[in-house]
Homo-oligomer: A and B are copies of this chain.
Amino acid sequence: MTELADAAAVKQDDQHLIDAGLQAVERAMFNAVNSEVDILRDASRHILSAGGKRIRPRLLMAAYLATGGTDIEYAAPPAAAVELMHTASVVHDDINDHGVLRRGRPSVNAIWGRTFALLTGDFLFTAVYQVMSPYKDLNMLLSRAATALVEGETLQAAAVKNNNFTREVYARIIALKTAALFESAAEIGAKLGHATREQVTALSQFGHNIGLAFQIMDDILDIVGDEARLGKTAGIDLEQGRGFGAVKEAAAGAAPAADPMESLKRRIMSGNYLREAEQQAEALVQMAISLLDVLPDSAAREELITLAWLTIRRDY
C-alpha cells in the first residue's frame, strides 16, 4: 500500500470508531435513565428519543478520539452525561417558559404536567451525577459546567425580569449557559484521551468558541424560525425578552403595531442585527477551527471541524 492509502485506511477505521462511539453514547444515555419508577423512565425516554443533534456528546467523543483515545465504551458514559445535563436543563426550561413543543414533540410538562417535569429534570441531573461518579477528577470539570449552566439560566431570567438585557449581559449569559458545557465536553474528551496539555487547552477553547457560536445562532433561529423548523415553541425567547443583545436596540426603534411581536420581528429582520450576529458566530467558528492545528490529521479531527460548522449551519 502507498502511504496515502495507509492514511485513508486509518481514517476509515477512525470513522468507524466515531460511529460506534455515538451508538455507545445512545446506549449509555438510555441505561442511565432506566429507573424502576415508570414516569421518570418514560418521560426521560420521551425527551431523549425525540432526537436532538447530540452535538455535545459528539464533541466529547471526537475530542477523545482525535487526541488518541480508542476505548469508546470508556468515553461513552461521560459523553452521555453531558447530553443528559443539557436535557435536564431543557426540561426545566420548558417549565419556566411554558414551552409545549420540544424537538418536534410535546414537551415533558405538556404531557406529564409541571410536577413530574420538575422531577424528571431533577432525575436527569442525578443521572448525570451517577453516570459520572466513577470518573473521579473529571467531575470537577463537569460540575463546574453544571453550576455555570444554572447560573446562566438564572442571569437570563433576571435580565428579562429587570429589563436590563444589554450586549454585555447577553455575552455573560451565553458563556455560562451554553459555552461552559461545550467547553467541558471538549476538555473531558481530551483528558480522557490523555491529550497533551497544549491539546487540552486548545480543545477547551475550541469547545467554548463553538458553544458561543451555537447559542448566537440558536437565538437567531428563534427569531427567524418557525415552529415546524425548530421543533420547539418558537419565538418564546424573544417573547420573554431574551435573545441576543441587539434585540433590545431593535425593539427600541420599533413602531407600535397591532401585534408587537410581529412588528419587533420585522424590525429585527430588516435591520443589520441578524447579519452582524451571524458574522460574529462565523468568526467564532473560524477561530475555533484554527485552534485544531495542534491535533494530528484524523477522521476525528474532521468530525470536530464538522461539528464547528454544524453550530451555525444546522443543515450542514
**A136–B37 alpha-carbon span in the complex (Å):** 27
Do A139 and B132 contact each other (CB < 8 Å), given the known contacts A37-B154, A115-B96, A157-B119?
A: yes
Tell me if A118 is interfacial: C-beta within 8 Å of chain B.
Answer: yes
What residue in chain B is nearest A35 (Cβ atoms)?
A: B151
- By the criterion CB–CB under 8 Å, are A37 and B155 in contact? yes
Q: Residue A126 at the B interface, CB < 8 A?
A: yes
Q: Given A40-B154, A96-B115, A154-B116, do A133 and B126 touch, yes or no (CB 8 Å)?
A: no
A126-166: CB near B (< 8 Å → 1, else 0) gives 11111011101101101110110111011101100000000
Tell me if A125 is interfacial: C-beta within 8 Å of chain B: yes
| A143 to B77 alpha-carbon distance, docked (Å) | 15
Contacting residues, chain B, for A158 (C-beta < 8 A): 37-39, 116
Whether B125 and A125, one on each chain, are in contact in the complex, defined by CB atoms closer than 8 angstroms, is: yes
Docked complex: A149-192 residues within 8 A CB-CB of B: 149-151, 153-155, 157-158
Question: Is the C-beta of A3 less than 8 angstroms from some C-beta in chain B?
Answer: no
If A129-B146, A139-B133, A140-B133 touch, whether A40 touches B116 (CB-CB below 8 Å) is: no
A137 to B137, CA, bound (A): 10
Copies in the complex: 2
Q: How large is the interface on A (under 10, 10 to 19, 20 to 34, 35 or more residues)?
A: 35 or more
Q: Is A123 an interface residue (CB 8 A)?
A: yes
Q: Look across to chain B and name the residue whose beta carbon is closest to the beta carbon of A128.
A: B129
Chosen A-B contacts, 30 in total, with CB atoms closer than 8 Å, are A37-B155, A38-B158, A40-B151, A92-B118, A92-B122, A96-B114, A115-B157, A116-B154, A116-B158, A118-B118, A119-B153, A119-B157, A123-B151, A123-B154, A126-B146, A126-B147, A126-B149, A129-B129, A129-B139, A129-B142, A129-B143, A129-B146, A129-B147, A130-B144, A130-B147, A133-B137, A133-B143, A134-B137, A136-B136, A139-B139
Residue ranges of A at the interface with B (Cβ–Cβ < 8 Å): 35-40, 89, 92, 95-96, 114-116, 118-119, 121-123, 125-130, 132-134, 136-137, 139-140, 142-144, 146-147, 149-151, 153-155, 157-158
